[in-house]
Amino acid sequence: MSKKLHIKKGDLVKVLAGNARGSEGKVLTVDVQNNRAIVEGVNKISKHTKPNAKSPNGGIVEQEASVHVSNLMLIEPASGTPTRVGRKLDEETNKLVRISKKSGEVIK
C-alpha cells in the first residue's frame, strides 16, 4: 500500500529549510518510498557525465537533486500563499480530497 504525501507532481511548492530556503518551484517528480521530491530550479548539483549519445563530449551537467518533502510547503493555487494540507472525504465521489487548511478550499 502506498503512502499519502501532501504534495503531488505538478504542485507549486515553497522550500522551508536548507540552502534553497524561500525559493519556489514546480514539483517535477515525487519519490514516495523515500519521501523525497525533485523541485524545478531548487537544490542544483553538478553531475560529471561520461560521453554519451545525448552529450557527445560529456562534461559537467547541472541538475536538480531531491529535497525531503518535510521541507516543502504547498502554495495555494487560488491565493498564491503557502498553506498546510489536510484531507477530507468528498460527499459526491466518496474519495479523499486534499484541502487547504488556510482557506478550506479543495486543492486540485
pLDDT tens over the chain, length 108 residues:
567 889 999 999 999 998 889 999 999 999 999 999 999 999 999 999 999 998 899 999 999 999 999 999 999 988 889 999 999 998 898 999 999 999 888 988
pLDDT at 1: 54
What domains, with CATH codes, occur in the chain? 1-75 (2.30.30.30), 83-108 (no CATH)
Check if the beta carbon of residue 43 is closer than 8 Å to that of residue 65.
Answer: yes
Asked if residues 50 and 70 have their Cβ atoms less than 8 Å apart, the reply is no
Nearest to 78 by CA among 50, 37, 42, 106: 106
| pLDDT at site 2 | 65
